[in-house]
Structure 1
């Protein structure tokens, strides 16, 4: 009887495991069908976009010659970038259109230049004051009459702008406002109606138009108010601009704004002059700062850069630390006074401050061409955010660096904040997978997020993986994963929950005896256990469970939906590790442009090294790094070691 009951339990567990696998296969089938539909739609839209783009690029448009003349006389620019002329001609012809263009591709010029050729005022909706301030400063430096209004605007300025909106003799060409100004100020909206009736409302520009969609990564409720604009001002053409948007987001934006038949224009995705790199973040902040200082002093001394931090407190601490090291840095976040933010911003634009240390809110619409590096002190919350933030580097098309400092602990700081978003956790885990992957081209991984396909050869050795490619070795980690799961099972039996740190302690035979399980102790170090847990998290053998208090947000680790596959022995878990370095053929330099502008996971074990001074072109340095012998698996991690880690006793390499 007991034998039959034991066998029945085994069969039931195995059935559960099979059901779980079937569920995964069905989900994969649904995902592939959706992808197939999306790709077909993209092909159809691309052909339409190409057709629209080819027409807009023609000099047959009466506006084309005027645009080019004004470009040279006002902005002192000789040539336009891809899709700029097409977009300008489309909006000048009165069409509604949406432009998808990479950060740094020149979106702002697509409405600034047409505004100078149009009668009346171009109303520009921007999400951030810093974004508006930067563009207004730039326009005024070119003698263009532009203004901005926000909650802190002076009464005299407000009165002057409102008079210019309806005055046919006024020289005002561009007026920047926040979406909140339109949504919450009936008085201002009344002046917009007067401007429309006076024939002075030239066009409506919506920057960061993806914020209109709840399907996007950065939905903002006040952007929803813009749905009334087409109904209220039907003769005014709308131009929506974004750097990142999927097909579903674009369709949702069109419906929201009532411009279903608008023209979609799309610029090339790739930024070939940006070098992407991930470094392991040391556990001690002093070592992180040592590595950042070494990078700046070695590669870009006294040059412009941005460092993004997780919190306002960290931005203040990092800025103060850099200042103490002789690097001119300024702090920028929402709690800094508007006057101080403006001072720091202007000092950075003027190069009297070299590094801005800020939260993710800084940078939207910033048009500073000579930003040589963007460093993430902590990982971004999504690959879309990463693409936007790193896109603020290298707008002059010279080689620039984009570095993420990654460590698992930072994931557990982000996850409680994004878990309420529709796709927040999935986006965060995609970001984690990007960081820990050891052999795929970084650029290709970013492209995949936006439905693009980028061959590794197109990277031109402009990421850490393509610059120093390595062989991949597979290692069976089933036993360690099972041990970790046993600890979680024991905790759940006792109705307790463990954080990642307590799980690691239990595996290493530390902490309360109640958390430990006999036979699961390991001599593996903490960094290797982080690699194991990350893999289990991404493959759903474990998951996060959140607990919120008035003072803190806590992420616990509990068994995931695929835990039974591990418990019953149905799954064997393998991980991919970097092995021997591949030989790399030399890549010829590219000519500088004359424009204005089983479940597997991958983990690396190579030191970052400082390399040689970056060249001012768009290829990798091509300098081979010192070869290293392979190290014990427990010392291998998913990202490069920062240079300050090289002397750590657990991270030393044989050379």
Structure 2
């Protein structure tokens, strides 16, 4: 039996040797035992029932929660010449009738063994609602053509499981009606309480016996360790500008993984297509890309699978569905934009299945949090999962393996001992992730108490004035950019014609003395710890995310600056930031003929000299306004016609003298030429800088896209100092032994 399974795994699936507990599960399958198999992402769970299905007479029924997963599995099996079908809402009535007729032919003995359907994929809803399908199953059972039930993602059975599906509860009838048909329950994570729930619902023996201790009858339990030492995790800083992000990705692939297989996971179908196109173009065809998402036709998906396996495509840009059912062993890198730690762990399971080294790189920019918040705002428990992945990416000191071990011990109630290997204990550092290999002195610890207090004071003042800012806008405001000017929004159909000026000198004793990246990471830090919180404003096109003071903010901001600076009062807020050095700005990337593209030339704004009192802040390429000599924040009431019924807040004076009069700025009369099309956010009065910041792209409440430009008045620009955004490529590391652990949701 062992020789036969080994031969077929190589002959049919191209697998030279079994991994982890695959062989044991296959043998238990062929012995018609009930089985619970817990194997993490990348372990090759699908092989444990697909291979026995080929060797067994009759049809194996696979219950899966995802139509996309079933589609991929059927395509995958079809390529290997294995007869597999799918019955779901995605299948036409005509095709469904054809499939069921084939299965009825099997039950009546009219189908030759070589033409039998070996695997039939169905959703739990199909089993729960289709009485005709139950009648078909009964016919197959009576004809002894019902080989096995496979319950994929079995944790969905349990209400304590993280993806509970009510229709999974109906699967208990399978054991009641078809008592002699063995059941295989598969899951990537299965804590003790969930295992007990699964066993009770499916009618399996509890507790199941582990493979080595199995008795002649009863349920057999198989599991595999979670840690894979050949996967090297790292976080790579992503530039603000899309074109620059593509260049960083291109350089990473060409420098470290030229002509090697990889996957880039994107957040949306639009991103998938855009990234694939630009990456191929930027590399002059050296990176051969393919796309994969739900709207790609099945025929094209099958073609992509073949081209990727044959090396005609080496990088697949995809949504998270890609990889389910795919078993390409030599994936050398995965680039992530994950919305959760579970997602990151699952996606990374596609890499290094041959046991050789592979890089798992999460591209991260703090402002991406705004977008992910908006994408997941309607999903229950999404905020907690997003906060956890933000903790992961903003950790520049802790071992990634230890983070995973601690995280899953809480979120999935898995013992940290699941991360123990023969070489290392569960909480020993891995020694090969980006944080474990980071050079001494490349990270600095920063006391964030004062900048946090300053940021929260500004956030409270902004909220009091009726304004709203995104993460990026808040970061620029507290650093003194835009001269502190903020527009006040009215309702969707009625807008206030005016602005306020937030004077950081008066409000918080000065601006925040951090770089742009550090300030944005500070805002994320405050979000994680509930000093800031999100406010969502939906419109007809999207959902905008703004930052407002959180539950903990008021107690902190009630302290005086002297309490924070001199007495050290307030919460202890400390974080590690990468150490970056100043360098000259990189030259503009020319077009293919060495000439800057016309579009880039057209976008350039004419630099002008700064307003009196402005200087380079030493932390960014923009020139920031220091603010005039202001004694007190003054609030001035003024009616501006029928469209305005409120208060305009003015925080600055006309002129430089101490006794200069306070004036009101009317947006119809004052600095309209300083801002192009601006209605919400910070009004710009700083020099254009396209390289790293560019135009701020803000979605208004009514869904309109508004481009923001920065400009200064007068003749000549000041000399500017630039800092390169933090970018750290994963370090070269010593080779790791090949006897590794792997993981997968297939």
TM-score category of the 2 structures, normalised to the smaller one: 0.7 to 0.9
The 8 Å contact of residues 308 and 359 in structure 1, kept in 2 or not, is answered as: yes
Aligned residue for 1:158? 99
> 1:52-201 counterparts in 2 under 5 A?
67=5, 71=9, 79-128=17-66, 131-132=69-70, 134-136=72-74, 139=77, 144-150=82-88, 151-152=90-91, 154=95, 158-159=99-100, 161-168=102-109, 169-171=112-114, 172=116, 174-179=118-123, 180-183=125-128, 185-201=130-146
1:366 offset after TM fit, Å? 1.3
The 8 Å contact of residues 444 and 579 in structure 2, kept in 1 or not, is answered as: no
Matched, 1:407 2:365: yes
1:344 offset after TM fit, Å? 2.6
Q: What is the number of equivalent residue pairs in this alignment?
A: 536
> 1:522-601 counterparts in 2 under 5 A?
522=512, 524-569=514-559, 598-601=572-575
TM-score, normalised via structure 1 length? 0.73
Distance change in 2, residues 1:381/1:228 (3 Å): farther
1:447 offset after TM fit, Å? 2.5
Moved more, 125-134 or 501-510: 125-134
Distance change in 2, residues 1:374/1:69 (3 Å): closer
Say which structure is richer in helix. Answer: 1
| Deviation string, structure 1 residues 432-471 (Cα, Å, up to 9, x no partner) | 1111101111122122222225558966533111222546
Aligned residue for 2:385? 427
Matched, 1:300 2:257: yes
Aligned residue for 1:339? 299
TM-score, normalised via structure 2 length? 0.64
The 8 Å contact of residues 136 and 146 in structure 1, kept in 2 or not, is answered as: yes
1:182 offset after TM fit, Å? 3.6
| Deviation string, structure 1 residues 121-177 (Cα, Å, up to 9, x no partner) | 211233455544554455556654444445336468525632354255534363131
Q: What secondary structure, in the 3-state scheme, does the structure 2 residue paired with 1:506 have?
A: helix
1:72 offset after TM fit, Å? 6.3
Distance change in 2, residues 1:465/1:362 (3 Å): same
Distance change in 2, residues 1:159/1:176 (3 Å): closer
| Deviation string, structure 1 residues 390-430 (Cα, Å, up to 9, x no partner) | 11011111111111111122212222343444432111111
**Higher Cα radius of gyration:** 2
Q: 2:274 aligns with which of 317, 321, 337?
A: 317
The 8 Å contact of residues 528 and 634 in structure 1, kept in 2 or not, is answered as: no
Aligned residue for 1:389? 347
Distance change in 2, residues 1:89/1:534 (3 Å): same
Distance change in 2, residues 1:537/1:350 (3 Å): same
Cα distance in 2, alignment partners of residues 515 and 196 from structure 1: 76
Distance change in 2, residues 1:162/1:69 (3 Å): same
Matched, 1:605 2:576: no
Matched, 1:491 2:466: no
Cα distance in 2, alignment partners of residues 456 and 253 from structure 1: 27
Q: 2:181 aligns with which of 236, 244, 248?
A: 236
Q: What secondary structure, in the 3-state scheme, does the structure 1 residue paired with 2:181 have?
A: coil
Q: Structure 2 regions of 5+ residues with no counterpart? A: 209-220, 410-415, 420-424, 487-498, 582-616, 621-690, 693-720, 729-746
CA-atom RMSD, angstroms? 3.6
Matched, 1:514 2:488: no
Distance change in 2, residues 1:357/1:79 (3 Å): closer
1:363 offset after TM fit, Å? 1.7
Matched, 1:350 2:293: no
1:533 offset after TM fit, Å? 0.7
The 8 Å contact of residues 446 and 574 in structure 2, kept in 1 or not, is answered as: no
Cα distance in 1, alignment partners of residues 262 and 727 from structure 2: 34
Aligned residue for 1:591? none
Distance change in 2, residues 1:442/1:226 (3 Å): same
